[in-house]
């Protein structure tokens, strides 16, 4: 059940691209889950690797060492991207670098209750959009956990896309609008979230974009996985 009062069929995912908030990146890191990051440097920490996203060492992400697929040296980032990244520095310095499982669950549950959307669907969108990284920034300029474009964020009243609760609230409101627009057709709403409603309307369905089709399938697949795990846990609890 996607909404508390409506039955919906679903599934999906998308490999987001994140860049560091700085002009000169030293390495391009590709993770096994498909996510990519531009980083200043890496530091081994036991079975984990710390990826520094800025020269001041205040912005970083920790990942499992075996989660890294490859590392490549990269040239300077384009000037246009540099300007956009620099403009985000003040947000990045104030935003938390990561959320605990409990914090994420609380935020998603609150947003889900406010918009009557299943929190597991929201969690699946977060996983597909940003991999749960608070400071994710795509090369297209989408920001935060649910990857809001600045214009969309402004229309939704989101003032700081790198504040996780505000970003999730805005992303959930946007998904709610799309679900209403497409009469609770989750696949179409997800396609519109990824490619924009204009593309969905133009093709009268999921656009024939490989990225969008893969995204929709990945989100729905993750949602179904989460629901199966809920069922398994319930069975275990009943057996005890």
User: Which residues are catalytically annotated?
Assistant: 129
What is the per-residue DSSP string for the chain? --BTTB----------EE--SSS---EEEEETTS-EEEESEEEEETTEEEEE-STTS-SEEEEEGGGEEEEEE--PPPHHHHHHHHHTHHHHHHS-S---HHHHHHHHHHHHHHHT--HHHHHHHHHHHHTT-TT-B-TT--BTTTTB-HHHHHHTT-S-TTSHHHHHHHHHHHHHHHHHHTTT-HHHHHHHHHH-HHHHHHHTSS-S-HHHHHHHHHHHHHHHHHHHHHHHHHHHHHH-
Cα(145)–Cα(166) distance, rounded to whole angstroms? Answer: 10
């Amino acid at each position: 059940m996607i909404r508390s009062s409506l039955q919906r069929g679903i599934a999906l995912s998308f490999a987001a691209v994140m860049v560091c908030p700085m002009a000169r990146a030293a390495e391009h890191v590709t993770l096994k889950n498909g996510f990519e990051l531009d980083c200043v440097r890496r530091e081994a920490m036991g079975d984990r690797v710390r990826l520094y996203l800025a020269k001041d060492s205040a912005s970083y992400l920790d990942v499992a060492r075996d989660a890294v697929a490859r590392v490549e040296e990269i040239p300077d980032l384009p000037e246009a991207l540099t300007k956009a990244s620099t403009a985000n520095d003040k947000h990045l310095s104030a935003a938390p670098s990561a959320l605990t499982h409990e914090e994420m669950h609380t935020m998603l549950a609150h947003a889900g209750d406010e918009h009557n959307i299943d929190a597991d669907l929201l969690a699946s969108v977060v996983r597909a959009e940003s991999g749960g990284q608070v400071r994710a920034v795509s090369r297209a300029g989408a920001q935060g956990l649910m990857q809001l474009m600045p214009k969309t964020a402004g229309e939704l009243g989101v003032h700081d896309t790198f504040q996780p609760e505000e970003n999730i609230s805005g992303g959930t409101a946007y998904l709610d609008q799309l679900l209403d627009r497409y009469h609770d057709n989750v696949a179409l709403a997800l396609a519109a979230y990824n490619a924009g409603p204009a593309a969905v309307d133009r093709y009268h369905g999921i656009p024939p974009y490989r990225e969008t089709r893969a995204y929709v399938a990945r989100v729905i697949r993750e949602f179904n996985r989460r629901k199966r795990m809920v069922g398994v846990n319930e069975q275990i609890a009943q057996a005890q």
